[in-house]
Amino acid sequence: MTPRKDEERKILAIAIMRDDKVVGKLTPGSEPVRLGTGYNNHIVVEGENLPDSMVLITPGDDVNTLVLRLSDQMDSTIESSDGTTLKFEDLRDLGIFPVDSDGYYLLNIKYLDKGHITAGPLVIHFSFIDTPKQTAPPPEKKEKKEKKEKKKEKAEEKPDNRVLKIIVEGSDGKKEFLPNAGLMTIGEAEYNTVSVKNIGLPRIHTLLEPHDNKYLLRLIPGIKGGIEVKGNVVPFATLIERHLMEKDKTSESYLWVFDKNVGGVFTLGDVEVFFSFTEPPEVVEKIVEKPKEKIIKYIPPEYNWEDFATRPHDGLAMKGNREELNRNAIILGLGMAIALITGSVFDRFITVIHESKEQMLRSAPTARVATLARQQISEGIGEEIVSDMSIGEESVEVGTSGGGPAGSSGPSDGVSDGQAAGEAVLQSSGFAGYGTGGAGGSSGIASDLQAAAASGAGLASGGGGEALIAGAGGGGSGGLGGLVGGGGGPSANIAGVSSSEVEAVHRAAEITFSAHSSSSEIGVQGRTMNDIRRKTNMIIMRIKRAYEDLLRSNPTASGTISVNFSITPGGSVVNVSVSAPGALSSLTASVQAAVQSLNFGPSSEQVENIPTGVTLNLVPPD
């Protein structure tokens, strides 16, 4: 309110009270009023969380306005000359007050307003009074600022997921809904959120819209109402008067950005529109069942040739002279006859693949192949123990009484043919063979397949005097069971080998291992114990060969070898250490070389080396 020209202007007066007693008075004039716990302030106050010094009241943008600055620990009540009352505590959390760089809330005090401020134990009353007749003391000089103002970083606002809710009450009844995209438009057009005619509204106007997790109000003339605070409505006119709503420079509307704690009402003629914010409704996902695919079963076509042959048929229509017709008929008939004959012949073709005896021997299954096809895996508590695949031969039934009488029908070059075939088998299979010796099943000793082939004995198979390898002239006891002691050629001297001797040779050493790691990152850094065991299993064959070489000189060598190493993020193996006791110490270099050859592949998730331990159990043949 601006004073009349003939009216004497009143001045601001401040009274400081404590325990309902006045402890100080102040008429600051145009100078700012300072408050704080320091002794050099106009108002000295005691209390927690109060500043050392702050500007409490300062002149505003014009002579009729003062700016009141309040902290979160302070409160104020302002009464205007028209009877409107604003309580800072009620409006503080609605986000309608501006905040300066120091975090203080700014309230405008208009000319002739009155009220009080609460700060700690003090109650500071202010009002406008007549100018005292006595000469006022000279105003104090402005104090120099000792400290530069520091800008506080605004705390990141937590997202508020509440949505705008509209309730429209009018002559048509009550309607409640959530507007699309959170926008509220008004106007005379039917497509507005709220359509109201004949009150001077434009065709369409956006009244409420989202604005950086808050809401923007564009208030235009013709709209009355206010915001609701604890059951009371503060009119929009009061907010405009307190400069809490900013005038838009491009239009006649007033702008106000507020948070979602604010609710209110708009009065549009005889229609009242209430707005507030509520939690969004739960979205129920609809499960759409996919249509089941129809499975069409293919049924091959069938044709009954008996019906085709017995039923009458129409003749083929061909144009031309008689000679051409006859010639075409003959050609067509011959073509059909050839097609029928060749089809029936090829329908009954049987393909027989001829294999030489050497090929049959190479493709025949052996005890070694059957044993290699098996892998023993056992599981223990807390870790998996993986055993190596057995590579030893299983025992084979061997004829102890030798073969039949020496054959006399073998060709003279049987020795050379048998030797060539035996060498070819040795180079292809790499397996040991047994059997040499004389004719007629006489006693002999065990040797290798090359010696047997060189002697002309070969490998006897089947009966009736047919030998599996060229050069064998007599019949054996049949099959691989008669591998030793079969009939020989003219110069053969086959000896029998006992089944216990062959069984002892066929047995092999066994190696089992277990892997463990003390790292807690197993399974987190992209590597699992299964991967580590699977890779480690690849070197067991290599270690077994070295162990079998040791058994030739020391048949009783056995024990446990401990291996420790680390797996790098690139997959290589470092820090390999091998502990082999007693006779197994000669295997240290072989085991260390085999472990260092491992590579587990790179892992993008691994950031440090993974320590790993492997325990090898070496057991000689029984």
Give the chain's mean pLDDT: 73
Tell me what the mean pLDDT of segment 77-86 comes to: 86
Per-residue pLDDT tens over the stretch 29-79? 888 999 998 878 899 988 888 888 999 999 988 888 999 999 888 999 999
Nearest CA among 499, 512, 546 for reference residue 394: 499
Other beta carbons within 10 Å of 554? 13
Instruction: Name the most confidently modeled range: 228-237, 409-418, 530-539.
Output: 530-539
Other beta carbons within 10 Å of 282? 5
Instruction: Name the most confidently modeled range: 263-277, 375-389, 484-498.
Output: 263-277
Is the whole model's pTM more than 0.75, yes or no? no
Compute the distance between CA of residue 454 and CA of residue 317 in angstroms, rounded to an integer.
77
What amino acid is encoded at 185 in this protein? T
**Predicted pLDDT of residue 572:** 93
Nearest CA among 511, 545, 549, 532 for reference residue 603: 532
Does 146 have pLDDT greater than 60?
no
Q: Do domains 11-129 and 163-278 have the same CATH topology?
A: yes
**Predicted pLDDT of residue 459:** 43
Considering the chain, what percentage of its residues have pLDDT values greater than 70?
Answer: 63
* Domain range annotation of the chain: 11-129, 163-278, 364-507, 510-619
Does 485 have pLDDT greater than 50?
no
Rounded CA Rg of the chain: 54
What sign results for the dihedral spanned by CA atoms 438, 440, 444, 449?
positive
Tell me what the mean pLDDT of segment 442-461 comes to: 41
CATH of domain 510-619: 3.30.1150
Kind and range of the H or E run holding 363: helix 357-363
Tell me what the mean pLDDT of segment 79-106 comes to: 87
**Predicted pLDDT of residue 344:** 60
Does 474 have pLDDT greater than 90?
no
**Predicted pLDDT of residue 274:** 93
**Predicted pLDDT of residue 531:** 86
Per-residue pLDDT tens over the stretch 263-277? 999 998 889 999 999
Kindly indicate the confidence band of residue 168, based on its pLDDT and cuts at 50, 70 and 90: very high
The architecture CATH gives domain 163-278: Sandwich (2.60)
Per-residue pLDDT tens over the stretch 348-363? 555 556 666 566 655 5
**Predicted pLDDT of residue 416:** 56
**Predicted pLDDT of residue 425:** 47
Tell me what the mean pLDDT of segment 526-535 comes to: 85
The CATH label, of 1.20.1050.10, 3.30.420.280, 2.60.200.20, 2.40.400.10, for the domain at 11-129 is 2.60.200.20
